Chain A
Amino acid sequence: MPRRPYTYLEPAALHRLGRLSLVARSVVEGFYAGLHRSPYRGSSVEFADHREYVPGDDLRHLDWKTLARTDRRTIKQYEEETNLRAHLLLDVSASMGYRHDANGLTKLEYASFLAACLSFLMIKQSDPVGLVLFDEGIQAFIPPATSAAHLNHILRRLEDIRPSRATHASAVFHQMAERIRRRGLVVILSDLFDEPREVLRGLQHFRYLKHEVILFHLFDRAELEFPFRQITQFVDLENGERIQIDPAYVRQQYLSEVQAFITEVRKHCLEAGMDHVQAHTGTPYDRMLQAYLSRRQQFSP
């Protein structure tokens, strides 16, 4: 088995690499080479030919009608159609611009890399992919397409992103759910620091319209561990609100609150049939993508 070049590609190293396209290519190509088949399936699968059944074939593809009529065991062969339309919804609110480690990535940068990887992966499979940047509202919308130029357009847009204002994800989700007419894949990259119930209601809206939803729930490691030691005056990145806190006292409670938040989101996603992928900015992309795609394969034909 060839060596997988992305295995030890840490986000910090990626940050140093600079350009998104190069990074995305290196990640996705390595990953793609390791796959046996595309996990994606089109909205329709067309019949191509019959062949003789050999032991080991999947019985789900046995042509039962021919067997009944002619007593011959034949297997149906299909031709895949990669017409999956994907929308990448990237949260560009101020909270996504947070990073605790000066040498690390912001959540927004991490999400951008992830979005670039996914775009590269999909376009490489000829699946149209679009990009939506949002905070309080939709900041940019790039409709799905499959061309290389479209990929470059997406990558350039990603490189130009700057964290902006407060989040109002739920409104954006409702808005996007109405805007995307054709069923497809909705990939959300966000910390979801908004009113949880509203956000979850927005996600539910996508599912109601039969979209497949993948939520990349992104955090900074400091948000999950709260590693602060001394009394600190914390300033909210989104609204400038201040609070002075002795971390020693609130840490346990804070971690409980964050865990409860994540648990609630995950539970809701599972109940609604959405994929919830939690990640923090220190996690290598491949490990996260592999875990995600592996789960996807379980549901593929």
Chain B
Amino acid sequence: MSAFFGLFLNPLFLLAVPTAAIPVVLHLLHQRRAPVHHFSTLRFLKISHQKTARRKRIHDLLLLLLRALVLALLALGLAQPFLRSGASLLGGTAATEAVLVLDCSYSMGASAGGATRFGRARQAAEAVLGGLGPADSVSLLAAPAAGGRPTAATSPEEAREMLQSCRLSYGRADLGEALRQAAASLAASSRPNREMVLISDLQRNSWPSSPSIPGLDPGVHVFVIDCGEEAGFNAAVTDLRVRGERRAVGTPVTFEAHIRNFQPDRVRKTVSLYIDREKKADERIEIAAASEAVALFTFTFDTPGPHSGWVLLPEDDLETDNRRFFHLDVQPRLPVLLARDAVSAVPVLDHVFYLEKALDPFRGLGHPERSALQVDATILPGLDEHLLEKYPVLILAQCVEIPTGTDAAIRRFVDEGGGLMVFLGENLRPQAWNDFFAPAGARPWLGVRVASPSAGPAPSEARPQGLQEPDLALPLFQPFQQESRHLFRQVQIHHHVLLEVEVADGTQVLLRTAGGDPLLIQALCGRGKVFLWSVPATTAGSNLPVNNLFLPLLHRMVHGLTESRGRRHDFQVGQPVQMPFESGTVSPVVRVVTPGGATFEAPVTRDGRVQTFQFQPALEAGIHEVFTGGEAVPAAAFAVNVDSAESEFEPLSEPEIRRLIPARTLHVARTPEAVRDRIEKIRQGVQLWNFFFAAVLLLALSECFLANRQSADRSRLSLHPAVK
């Protein structure tokens, strides 16, 4: 109903439309007041009446209709109706409400022929704004934008200034959401012409898969201006993985850069690694058409503390995706805590003897700085939360059982991101360990059950068994793929604990005995990780502790345990950042300084010893630094990278656009010039009241003609031939 009244500028005059009934009323009254005349005979009158009644009825009806129409159209004309759209052949310009949706995703930064898509988009927006008058209203929606809502409606002149302040973002556009917001904004407008103008490179990944613009008024004209030129050359760093974020000085770090070639031609690229703003390495790779390749860099940090950097590709048509950032904290030495039931008086019989030797081979040799790990040993009864807070990795060696209270502390330690490695010995109490793995009354913490403390034959009659061929593609075993793979064949297992493993998400068996029993199990628990050996860390169960495999594998496992899933240091543009950090200062907020130098405050929540700040959304790509209180040294940092899906230039076809935008009138143009004329024609709505008044005039003339014909019949009273 309101839409109907919205078609009139003075809808109050619609109240006068019922005056159209006046001719009918007058007709009825007039008929009632007909004078009586006594006539000689009705013979001829009746015949004449019968013969002319039909014509008279039509004539009367026509006259009545004309008179009623004159009055109705007069009332409608005074109500000033207008046509929302249509041809402008007959002149008139109706007020326009326009919402400009400007795609600011980083793919709009692609250049071709010396101009970027975003530059062309601005020109198109200028052209659209240039056709608007001072009485028109326009809103601007930069997609993606904070909150994703259009700006308040303003004059075209102000919108032009706002347009100048629009900048390319590092994010990916959600054009479906942007158009929904634009439709909602237009739905509230009552102006005759309502336009939604989308200026974009129409990149496929910016659109939803199905039409999703509910509430789009059929009267809204949708213009889509494609600013994407012919796709240029583009390769992008789509991912950068740093193996183990909690790295220590002297420990090689592997950077795995994934490079994707979006072109249909094979290319060669030099990929550079920058750390702390200095180029550290180059890697030359060749990438097949429309496929991906990996550039591997290994770097050993010699100073502890936070380190940032990026991987960089050479210049191409889209710069934004050529760089991918990382941030990691390098520890001086990684603290590892070893725990066993008791300390043995004979060192070699101590359960952690081989572990200590393997984890810290330089101990006692006078070169403590060479050690990558700081290994401390304790006994299980002395293990508590306070002690665990100091270590990211805990190794339990041949414990009979885990005391009550300590088990919960260990589980919590892991759940919060700690790493746990367990060597099971044949002296264990199965029930106690099963209770640790699956606490009573709670969901199983680990999908493992001790079936038997000893699965091997008696040592006297034992024939040791080897290992099944391991899957060397697993990240843990990748360093052993080439010349070191024979080390696995040298492992001899005498005794092992028989485990039943429930393989599920996050739980997998990494090594098996030749008989197929699980030997090494990896499991994810909460934000932490667990490695579970079914053999002890002594030579009592296997020759593993004295095998050349043991030391590198153990170190790799320890570093693997520090790959805490809760400690993310890299995020994507547009996503909220939630990151725990360690600081001696406790503050309700932290300051986040973006790569561009802008500073934002982010709230901090504290859960036990862990502080977590929340910052959203991240809008810039690069390294963000986090400061607590008034400190000048950042307490933490994180890297934000662009969504590599935006690097794909594949545009939507016009039929696809028409399917996704269910508008009654949709105009797609490849150039701003092509759409400008069309927009101007559409904007010139027709002021219908002029036509209504013209119709009134025409009808009045018709009425006069018909009425005069009647009148002429009355007045043409010349003498009838019969009289002459």
A232 with B720, Cβ < 8 A, contacts A223-B40, A248-B711, A249-B59 known: no
Complexed CA–CA distance, A258 and B720 (Å):
10
Contact of B45 among A230, A243, A252 (CB under 8 A): A243
Contact of B37 among A228, A249, A252, A258 (CB under 8 A): A228
Write the nearest CB–CB distance from A197 to chain B, whole angstroms. 13
Chain B residues with CB under 8 A of A234: 36-39, 42, 45
Contact of A237 among B38, B715, B722 (CB under 8 A): B38
Give residues of chain A (68-101) contacting chain B, Cβ–Cβ below 8 Å: 95-96, 98
Complexed CA–CA distance, A223 and B722 (Å):
10
Contact with B along A7-20 (1 / 0, CB 8 A): 00000000000000
Complexed CA–CA distance, A95 and B714 (Å):
24
Say if the beta carbon of A178 comes within 8 Å of chain B.
Answer: no
Q: Is B722 a contact partner of A250 (Cβ separation < 8 A)?
A: no
Q: Is B44 a contact partner of A254 (Cβ separation < 8 A)?
A: yes
Say if the beta carbon of A161 comes within 8 Å of chain B.
Answer: no
Contact with A along B51-71 (1 / 0, CB 8 A): 110011001000000000000
Contact of A232 among B36, B47, B48, B721 (CB under 8 A): B36
Chain A residue, CB-CB nearest to B717: A227
Say if the beta carbon of B609 comes within 8 Å of chain A.
Answer: no
Say if the beta carbon of B505 comes within 8 Å of chain A.
Answer: no
Chain A residues with CB under 8 A of B45: 234, 243, 245, 250, 254
Q: Is A98 a contact partner of B40 (Cβ separation < 8 A)?
A: yes
Complexed CA–CA distance, A36 and B43 (Å):
44
Chain B residue, CB-CB nearest to A95: B40
Q: Is B39 a contact partner of A235 (Cβ separation < 8 A)?
A: yes
Give residues of chain A (103-136) contacting chain B, Cβ–Cβ below 8 Å: 107
Q: Is B723 a contact partner of A193 (Cβ separation < 8 A)?
A: no
Contact of A235 among B38, B47, B715 (CB under 8 A): B38
Q: Is A253 a contact partner of B35 (Cβ separation < 8 A)?
A: no
Chain A residues with CB under 8 A of B386: none
Chain A residues with CB under 8 A of B31: 231, 244
Say if the beta carbon of A43 comes within 8 Å of chain B.
Answer: no
Give residues of chain B (630-648) contacting chain A, Cβ–Cβ below 8 Å: none
Q: Is B711 a contact partner of A255 (Cβ separation < 8 A)?
A: no
Contact of A248 among B35, B43, B710, B723 (CB under 8 A): B710
Say if the beta carbon of B30 comes within 8 Å of chain A.
Answer: yes
Chain A residues with CB under 8 A of B59: 249
Say if the beta carbon of A257 comes within 8 Å of chain B.
Answer: yes
Say if the beta carbon of A286 comes within 8 Å of chain B.
Answer: no
Complexed CA–CA distance, A220 and B34 (Å):
23
Write the nearest CB–CB distance from B593 to chain A, whole angstroms. 94
Contact of B40 among A193, A248, A251, A278 (CB under 8 A): A193
Chain A residue, CB-CB nearest to B36: A233
Q: Is B722 a contact partner of A258 (Cβ separation < 8 A)?
A: yes
Say if the beta carbon of B719 comes within 8 Å of chain A.
Answer: yes
Q: Is A247 a contact partner of B714 (Cβ separation < 8 A)?
A: yes
Chain B CB within 10 A, most for which of A235, A238, A246: A246
Q: Is B37 a contact partner of A257 (Cβ separation < 8 A)?
A: no
Total contacting residues, chain B, CB less than 8 A: 34
Say if the beta carbon of A140 comes within 8 Å of chain B.
Answer: no
Chain B residues with CB under 8 A of A254: 44-45, 48
Say if the beta carbon of B489 comes within 8 Å of chain A.
Answer: no
Give residues of chain B (672-718) contacting chain A, Cβ–Cβ below 8 Å: 710-711, 713-715, 717
Q: Is A224 a contact partner of B722 (Cβ separation < 8 A)?
A: yes
Complexed CA–CA distance, A191 and B56 (Å):
29
Q: Is A248 a contact partner of B713 (Cβ separation < 8 A)?
A: yes
Chain B residues with CB under 8 A of A264: none
Chain A residue, CB-CB nearest to B721: A259
Complexed CA–CA distance, A219 and B720 (Å):
12
Contact of A225 among B43, B52, B719 (CB under 8 A): B719
Say if the beta carbon of A160 comes within 8 Å of chain B.
Answer: no
Contact of A243 among B49, B55, B721 (CB under 8 A): B49
Chain B residues with CB under 8 A of A244: 31, 34
Contact of A241 among B35, B42, B715, B720 (CB under 8 A): B42
Say if the beta carbon of A236 comes within 8 Å of chain B.
Answer: yes
Chain B residues with CB under 8 A of A247: 713-714
Chain A residue, CB-CB nearest to B41: A193
Say if the beta carbon of A60 comes within 8 Å of chain B.
Answer: no
Q: Is B720 a contact partner of A249 (Cβ separation < 8 A)?
A: no
A233 with B51, Cβ < 8 A, contacts A259-B721, A262-B722 known: no
Q: Is B714 a contact partner of A248 (Cβ separation < 8 A)?
A: yes
Write the nearest CB–CB distance from B7 to chain A, whole angstroms. 40
Say if the beta carbon of B46 comes within 8 Å of chain A.
Answer: yes
Chain B residues with CB under 8 A of A183: none
Q: Is B38 a contact partner of A98 (Cβ separation < 8 A)?
A: yes
Q: Is A238 a contact partner of B41 (Cβ separation < 8 A)?
A: yes
Q: Is A253 a contact partner of B722 (Cβ separation < 8 A)?
A: no
Say if the beta carbon of A211 comes within 8 Å of chain B.
Answer: no
Say if the beta carbon of A168 comes within 8 Å of chain B.
Answer: no
Complexed CA–CA distance, A244 and B31 (Å):
9
Complexed CA–CA distance, A231 and B717 (Å):
16
Say if the beta carbon of A174 comes within 8 Å of chain B.
Answer: no
Write the nearest CB–CB distance from B31 to chain A, whole angstroms. 7
Complexed CA–CA distance, A242 and B42 (Å):
8
Chain B residue, CB-CB nearest to A279: B723
Write the nearest CB–CB distance from A150 to chain B, whole angstroms. 31
Q: Is A224 a contact partner of B720 (Cβ separation < 8 A)?
A: yes
Q: Is B38 a contact partner of A258 (Cβ separation < 8 A)?
A: no
Chain B residues with CB under 8 A of A227: 717
Complexed CA–CA distance, A235 and B715 (Å):
23
Say if the beta carbon of A280 comes within 8 Å of chain B.
Answer: yes
Chain A residues with CB under 8 A of B719: 224-225
Say if the beta carbon of A3 comes within 8 Å of chain B.
Answer: no
Q: Is B720 a contact partner of A225 (Cβ separation < 8 A)?
A: yes
Contact of B46 among A237, A243, A251 (CB under 8 A): A243
Chain B residues with CB under 8 A of A256: 48
Give residues of chain B (6-49) contacting chain A, Cβ–Cβ below 8 Å: 30-31, 34-49
Write the nearest CB–CB distance from B638 to chain A, whole angstroms. 94
Complexed CA–CA distance, A27 and B142 (Å):
111
Chain B CB within 10 A, most for which of A107, A251, A280: A251
Q: Is A278 a contact partner of B722 (Cβ separation < 8 A)?
A: yes
Say if the beta carbon of A261 comes within 8 Å of chain B.
Answer: yes
Complexed CA–CA distance, A95 and B39 (Å):
8
Chain A residue, CB-CB nearest to B33: A231
Q: Is B37 a contact partner of A235 (Cβ separation < 8 A)?
A: yes
Chain A residue, CB-CB nearest to B56: A249
Complexed CA–CA distance, A95 and B44 (Å):
13
Chain B residue, CB-CB nearest to A96: B40
Chain A residues with CB under 8 A of B56: 246, 249-250
Say if the beta carbon of A229 comes within 8 Å of chain B.
Answer: yes
Give residues of chain A (242-299) contacting chain B, Cβ–Cβ below 8 Å: 242-259, 261-262, 278, 280
A225 with B723, Cβ < 8 A, contacts A231-B30, A243-B45 known: yes
Q: Is A235 a contact partner of B36 (Cβ separation < 8 A)?
A: yes
Q: Is B34 a contact partner of A250 (Cβ separation < 8 A)?
A: no
Q: Is A191 a contact partner of B40 (Cβ separation < 8 A)?
A: yes
Complexed CA–CA distance, A256 and B721 (Å):
10
Q: Is A257 a contact partner of B36 (Cβ separation < 8 A)?
A: no
Q: Is B42 a contact partner of A253 (Cβ separation < 8 A)?
A: no
A230 with B48, Cβ < 8 A, contacts A224-B720, A248-B714, A258-B722 known: no
Chain B residues with CB under 8 A of A205: none
Given A98-B38, A249-B56, A258-B720, 17 other A-B residues pairs in contact with their CB atoms under 8 A: A95-B40, A225-B717, A225-B719, A229-B715, A232-B35, A233-B36, A235-B36, A236-B39, A236-B41, A237-B38, A245-B45, A249-B713, A253-B51, A253-B52, A254-B44, A259-B721, A259-B722
In the assembled complex, 26 residue pairs joining A and B whose CB atoms fall closer than 8 Å, in A order, are A98-B39, A98-B40, A224-B719, A225-B723, A226-B720, A228-B37, A228-B714, A230-B34, A230-B35, A233-B34, A233-B37, A234-B42, A234-B45, A235-B37, A238-B41, A243-B45, A243-B46, A244-B34, A245-B49, A246-B710, A250-B49, A251-B713, A253-B51, A253-B52, A258-B44, A258-B722
Report B's interface with A, CB cutoff 8 A: 30-31, 34-49, 51-52, 55-56, 59, 710-711, 713-715, 717, 719-723
Complex A-B, nearest 4 residue pairs according to Cβ-Cβ distance, in ascending order? A98-B40, A253-B48, A95-B40, A250-B48
